[in-house]
Amino acid sequence: MLYHVINLQTHEMKTLQPSDILDMDYDADGRIVIVDKDQETYYLLAHKDIVNE
């Protein structure tokens, strides 16, 4: 599985492999925050097409 993320500081979009991820957690607003092995922090992105209605 690939994780599409956006950097909290630079707003750069990136794709991470599971092996790149150190930690995943939720922030106070319920968004998923990811910390990668380089200690960069990202928000997890999602696309509406992954949800079946």
Report the C-alpha gap between 5 and 44 in whole angstroms: 5
Give residue 46's pLDDT. 79
What is the average pLDDT score of the chain? 91
pTM above 0.85, yes or no: no
The better pLDDT of the pair 12, 2 is held by: 12
- Residue range 15-19: average pLDDT? 95
Give residue 53's pLDDT. 57
- Residue range 28-41: average pLDDT? 96
In angstroms, what CA-CA distances link 39 with 31, 36, 52?
18, 5, 34
Report the C-alpha gap between 50 and 32 in whole angstroms: 16
- Residue range 14-42: average pLDDT? 96
Instruction: Specify which residues 6 forms β-bridges with.
Output: 13, 43
